[in-house]
Amino acid sequence: MAPQANTINVYTVADLPTAPALGTPALAIVNDASLPSVGAVPTGGGLVTALVWFNGSVWHIVAL
């Protein structure tokens, strides 16, 4: 049996889930980050794509 790949969903910052469902990846991609920096909470309205991680409380940018 071949291993299954996890899917990372793409959202705008405004459409990020409040909290990921239990058992789903706590990673997502946002495609409208504005002036992002690693470790920051993402803000929308920009043109930058960024990988974000949910830490149990808020989303944080982990890669640009």
Digit-coded pLDDT (tens) for 5-64: 678 999 999 999 998 888 777 999 999 999 999 999 999 999 999 999 999 999 999 999
Where is pLDDT greater, at 50 or 3?
Answer: 50
pTM above 0.75, yes or no: yes
Measured between alpha carbons, how far is residue 42 from residues 1, 6, 7, 18 in Å? 38, 23, 21, 13
Domain for residue 5, yes or no?
Answer: no
The pLDDT score that the predictor gives to residue 44 is 98
Cβ–Cβ < 8 Å for 48, 36: yes
Residue 4 pLDDT: 66
- Which tokens is 39 given? 């470790």
pLDDT at 14: 98
- Give domain status of residue 1, yes or no: no
Range of the domain at 32: 10-15+24-63
Residue 3 lies in a domain: no
- What integer pLDDT is reported at residue 7 of this predicted model? 82
| CB-count burial class (<10 Å; 0-12, 13-18, 19+) for 27 | middle
Q: Is residue 38 part of a domain?
A: yes
Partnered with residue 30 across adjacent β-strands are: 11, 50
Overall domain count for the chain: 1
- Give 34's Cβ-side CA count (13 Å radius): 7
